[in-house]
Structure 1
Amino acid sequence: MLLELFIALVVVVLFSYIMRVSALGFRRPDLPPGPPTVPILGNLHMMPKSHAYLKFTEWAKAYGEIYSLKMGPGTAIVLNTPRAVRKLLHARSATTSNRPPNHFIHITSSGYNVGSAQPENIWKTIRRVFSEMLTREACMNNLPIQKAEATQLMHDLVMQPEGFYTHVRRYASSVVLSVAFGIRCPRYEGSLVEEFFDIQREWGRMLEPGVLPPLDTLPFLRYVPERWASWKGISKDIRRRQRKLYFGLIELCGRRIKDDRRNNCFMENVFDRQEQYNMKDEMLGYIGGMLMEAGFDTTSIFLQFLILCLVAFPEVQARAQKDIDRVIGRDRSPRFEDFDNLPYIDAIIKEASVPGSLRRQLTHGL
């Protein structure tokens, strides 16, 4: 009798396991539509290893503004319009504001990258630091820095227009460095800014969908020996280079504070509130790094894209110049308060503010 019960139990367990495994990769009826799936993998085998945004756009045209991808046992919901983003991520932020785990980012940045921070207290601390100290008033106080850096940018563009790509990178990065760390970057070649963009290029390449194995969907892949998992060596190299750059800048701020040579930069103020925010030294380093990641690439890509558009459409450039001449003239530089009187310039800026993936596509290879 006991043997029969044992055999029956084993059969039930095996049957349940087979049923569960056979359901892996399939899309439940209550999920948004998406591309056809295969057992176990779902849509993992369809993920492109480069230019993923093109495939995502193709799927959006086929399945609508909200579709789903099956990533093995997991599910990704893809939002394709501002309306869908506002409806789900803004209006319902209480239930949608968490971030999915990303093992590669976690081991590279010790869990302190704001885009993937998992422990709620870490994310809240980082968000609190930024929201309390990056206020509108603080940004207005930094306008002289932006004006000074813009003056050098104009000089560099006039003297060497063919180097506009790196001139713009230097400008955007130097503004952030000045505001965040109290230092500037007078040239691009051989600077820490060039090193940053080298790191970011490799970091961004590894984070493209399809480049890494599905480490979060199939966790056992994390334990593959490094000789067969090249991503492990790459993550170690990125981590080493990031920490050398980020923590070197933090040490510079710390020495300035110790020597009573403050210049009232952002990270000096963060240092002053370290105990108030209950932050470890490691978090300080990654907060400074996140300011660089958020400000260097976004601003420079936008300006590079804007320049390309103005060159491609000279009639727009001519009309914009006419508006600037009418409001500002030729005897001074633009001021912040001029902006309200330049609706055409405002429209150009908004038109050029296309999604980051498209900007990267249009400026790729320059």
Structure 2
Amino acid sequence: MLASIFLTIIALVAVYYIAAQSIKTRCLPQGTRLPDGPPGRSFVGNLPDIPPKHSWLKFYEWKKKYGDLYRIKLAGRTNIIVSTEEIANDLLRERGNIYSSREQLPMAAQLLSDNLRPLLLPYGSEWREVRKLMHSLTNVSMTSSYEPVQEEESTRMVRDLIREPRAYERWFHR
């Protein structure tokens, strides 16, 4: 019984892995392919190949072997490594509107935050409006206007801590 459950789980994981690989390759425009890169292991990809210290040396070694633009896999995710400033400038400055968006995480963006977290918004007009608002709230001239309120709240917190130290969590939360 236990062996059949175990084999079923392994089969489901294998089917999921194969389906995920198939979907990734179908998302590429016709006539294109991903750049070459070092071969990785199943599930972890190239993660064990990257040393914890001086990892840039490994990336430089891969650059010499695979070229200025190469692919690595990290825990099932394909990452494209750009090794020259010229390519980075071309991709980010010249064609930045194509690459400026973030990966969409529906669970985090829509379900948990109702699309109200600027960090999770896709690049577009709404993102630009939110960024404009955040900039206006956090620029130097605006932040100085918050100082009197911060000073008053700090004084209140210290006073309340002295009066009722056991409720420190409430005072710090406020």
Give the TM-score normalised by structure 2: 0.49
* Higher relative contact order structure (alpha carbons within 8 Å, sequence separation ≥ 6): 1
The structure where helix makes up a greater share of residues is 1
